Amino acid sequence: MPNRQVDIQPERRKLSVGPLSTGDKWFFRTTTIASNFAFILVALILVFLFAKAWPAIQQQGPAFIYGNTWDVESDPPVMQLGPMIWGSLQVAFLGILIATPMAISAAYAIVFMLPQRLAKIATTLIDLLAALPSVVIGLWGLLSFAPVAANWAKLLNQTLGFIPLFQITGDEPTYIDSPFIAGWIVAVMIVPIITSVTREIFSQTDSGLINGALALGGSRFSVFSRVILPTSAPGIVGGILLGLGRAIGETVAILYVLQLTFDINWYQILEPHGGAVASWILSRFGEATEKEFEGLMAAGLVIFIVTLIINGLANVIVSRAAGRNR
């Protein structure tokens, strides 16, 4: 009788891959909690900034982003961040423009030109540049670099002054405190990050592809422009975005070398007018009233959200590019 045989079959055992001992359970519980701390931290920062910034946001409305007055004496205080946001973008853009050729060249030299030992030293030097504190860069920028860069700015103004970009309207220009110099300082700070991302991506380029191109009669230049650059372009863009995030968040170094004004400076990069949100927060913080303090919190919220989005995007792009090449 087949039916009875079915009845006495043992019950199916539950298979599980979870941790078995209590120690393991606690081990995984602790690490999971710790990893959730990344989310908790982001949430906490958003909540606390938002809580303080809310009165200012409510009162200023959307003009907070694009208006160009900062008057805390009046009642109610007018706080609008337009020139600072534009200035931040301007300085960051200049920094990227200056840093990108340097970073790609350094990465190319490290991966494809230098012998192994020199390449290692060069990598260490680039990492060292990344480790320099921004207050030290600011000190150097103010006292050592700005006088030199002022000469460059003078040269640019005198030879290429007919281009609106390099015009100066003032009578006795000093050539310092300008977005141009701030752009250079930012470039010094973001070169290492773009270099290290680019280096990583370059070193993952398929060497079979390169040797194939060379064997087919390609020259160094054609290999660079047709093989290396196209395959690593997404990674380089990711690295530049990471640099952009860093540039927008840069505070102390820019504060020393840029005159922050609410007289918006659209494109004359040699003029001593400019802006940077992060530096503005720091420069106003000392004498801020309660109301202004709320406005500064709102400014902090703006750069936090912007840099979080940029960095998130950059990291996704970089890890995709790295994964694809592997």
Partner 1 sequence: MSKTISRQPWANQSVAGNLDILIGSILPAAISVILAILTGMDFSLALLLIFLPLQLISVCTIAFKRQGARGIKDGLLILFVIFFSATVLVLLVSVLVSVVMQGSAAMSPHFIYQNNKYVSTTTSLEYGGVGHAILGTLIIVSMTTIAAVPLGIAMAVYLTQSNSKLTGVVRTVTQALSGLPSVVAGLFILSFMGFANFERSGFTGALALFPLMLPTVARVAEEALRLVPSDLRLAALALGAPNYRAFFQVILPAAKSGIITALLLGLARVVGETAPLILTINANNSTNLNPFSGGIATLPTFVYGFLGSLYDTSQARAWGAALVLLTLVGLLFGMARILGRAKKTSASKIKKAK
Contact positions with partner 1 (CB under 8 A) in 67-86? none
Taking the complex as a whole, the smallest distance from the CB of residue 235 to partner 1 amounts, in Å, to 15
Return the DSSP state at 29.
H
Taking the C-alpha atoms of residue 78 and residue 274, their distance in angstroms, rounded to an integer, is: 20
In this complex, which beta carbon is closest to partner 1, that of residue 237 or of residue 252? 252
Cα Rg, the chain, nearest whole Å? 27
Strands (E), the chain: 70-71, 78-79
- Half-sphere CA count of 190, side-chain side, radius 13 A: 32
Stretch that binds partner 1, among 55-63, 65-73, 245-253, 261-269 (CB under 8 A): 245-253
Query: Should residue 147 be labelled a site residue for partner 1 when binding is judged by CB under 8 A?
Result: no
Residue 142 φ then ψ, to 5°: -70, -45
DSSP, collapsed to helix, strand or coil, labels residue 269 as coil
Report how many helices (DSSP H) and strands (DSSP E) the chain contains, helices first.
14, 2
Query: Should residue 37 be labelled a site residue for partner 1 when binding is judged by CB under 8 A?
Result: yes
Contact positions with partner 1 (CB under 8 A) in 117-146? 119, 122, 124-129, 131-140, 142-145
Taking the complex as a whole, the smallest distance from the CB of residue 6 to partner 1 amounts, in Å, to 37
Stretch that binds partner 1, among 73-81, 105-113, 168-176, 264-272 (CB under 8 A): 105-113
Contact positions with partner 1 (CB under 8 A) in 211-230? 211, 214, 219-222, 224
Member of 110, 182, 260, 321 binding partner 1 (CB under 8 A): 110
DSSP, collapsed to helix, strand or coil, labels residue 315 as helix
- Token representation of residue 3: 């039916």
Contact positions with partner 1 (CB under 8 A) in 304-323? 304, 307-308, 310-312, 314-316, 319
Taking the complex as a whole, the smallest distance from the CB of residue 262 to partner 1 amounts, in Å, to 19
For residue 41, give the H/E element and its range. Answer: helix 22-60
Query: Should residue 262 be labelled a site residue for partner 1 when binding is judged by CB under 8 A?
Result: no
